[in-house]
Every structure is written in C-alpha cells, then in structure tokens.
A = this chain, B = another copy of it.
Amino acid sequence: MKTKDRILLESLKLFNRRGERNVSTNHIAAALDISPGNLYYHFRNKNEIVYQLFLQYEQQVRGFMTVPQERDITFQDKVNYLEDILNSMWDFRFLHQDLHHLLQDDDRLRIAYREFSSRTVADGRKILLSMAESGVLRANAEQIDALILNIWVMVVSWSSFLQSISIQNNEGGTLRKGMLKRAIYQIIALEEPFLCESVQALLPELKKHYLDGASTDPLALFPSILDDAQLS
C-alpha cells in the first residue's frame, strides 16, 4: 500500500477512535512509524487529510444512491440504502460526531459538505418518488418533501444525538454499531404510516432487527444517573 493511503487509513482509525480533535499529525506519523516530514510530504496539514477522507465517504454514499432502472423499486431496496448509508457513517463516524467543528475550520470542506447534503437529499427524494410511483409509498409530493428532510436530518444527527446523551464518547469509544444503526428503526417508524399494506406486514420483523434487542422505550436510551458515579 502506498504511504499516502496508509496515512489516510491510519488517520481514519485514530479519528474514529479518539475524535479528530484529539489526534495530531504527529500522532498519526508516530502510529505509522514515519517522520512528520514524510507525512507533510503527502498532506500539507490535518485539514487536507480530513478533506480526503470526506471525499472517500462522499464517493461511497454517491455510489449506492441510485434508483434501479430496469425494475420497480421495492421496500427492501429502501432498507438497503439505509443500511449502506449507516455502514458508511460507521466507517467514517468521526465526521458526523464533530461536524460543526470540522466545517468551521475549513471553507472547502463546508462547501463540499453542503453539496453532498444537497445531492443526497435530491437522490433520496427521487427514491421516495419512485416508491410512490410503484405504489410502495402512498404520499403526495408535499409529504415526500417533508419526509425526505426528516429522514435526512435523522440520519445525519443520530450519532451526535447519541453523543449528547453520553451513549458514546471519544475517550471510551462506547458507540456500538448496533446503536448507530438503530437510526434505521426510527426512520422505518417515520415512513410506516405511508407504506402500503403488503410492506406494513414486513415491518414488525424489520423493526425488531434494528432495535437490536433494546427496548422501544426512549428513556431506556438515557444512561441512568447511577452511571455518573463512574464519571467523578
């Protein structure tokens, strides 16, 4: 593997584990056993590494957000889109966990992120529209507009929401993939009232899967006050 790719891979690993803010280019060089000078030969600063990782993430998401051309779209397709997005978010989880900070530090990333959001919402709307055409979704254009925005905000906010209620933190790295993918349960619940009967029949099984053995009770998400004893 080329040094440039090794740097990206190691950076991603460290950013996901400790949070981007807590990882310096020196940490990255040390982890790879290369000199800081060698790292700077490939990337002029940490922002450049973050930007290149963002492009990889964007490329992944763009790759699977396409409507099948030769057959009707199914609800399983929709679930697959969500699976793919949440898997990518897991792979690049440092991005959404401190997005505000990353965007504030880098104009180029801010513009790229906005374009990425805009394109993904547009692609998502096409998917919902084609689900409406094929009869899987019973919603008018206005309902689809509201729905896609609700889904998108839920997708991009779920990980920082979990973080804000201390389900995860950069130190302990307690975010489990199952907790991240519980966002899919919430999104299925969003869409449920609009889905046709034949799809509704499949939902109990699916929802059970994405609840990941957890309770539906939203309060069960909040770590108990008892946990705080360990903090002090």
Contacts and interface: CB of A to CB of B under 8 A. Distances in A.
Given A111-B231, A228-B111, A186 B222 contact: no
Contacts of A125: 218-219
B161 A157 contact: yes
Contacts of A160: 99-100, 157, 160
B157 A218 contact: no
Contacts of A127: none
B100 A222 contact: no
Interface residues of A, number: 58
B166 A110 contact: yes
Contacts of A223: 114
Interface string A145-163: 1111110111011101101
A153 B186 contact: yes
Contact of A154 (B142, B154, B189, B217): B154
A100 B103 contact: no
Interface in A60-76: none
A201 interface: no
Contacts of A153: 153-154, 157-158, 161, 186
Nearest to A118: B222
Contact of A185 (B146, B158, B186): B146
A122 interface: yes
A164 interface: yes
B222 A150 contact: no
Interface string A120-152: 011001000000000000000111011111101
Nearest to A232: B107
10 contacts: A99-B164, A100-B163, A111-B228, A113-B164, A114-B166, A146-B216, A150-B150, A150-B189, A153-B158, A193-B193
10 tightest Cβ-Cβ pairs between the two chains A and B? A193-B193, A146-B189, A157-B157, A118-B222, A149-B218, A145-B216, A114-B165, A153-B161, A142-B216, A121-B218
Interface of A: 97-101, 103-104, 107, 110-111, 113-115, 117-118, 121-122, 125, 141-143, 145-150, 152-154, 156-158, 160-161, 163-166, 170, 185-186, 189-190, 192-194, 216-219, 221-223, 225, 228, 231-232
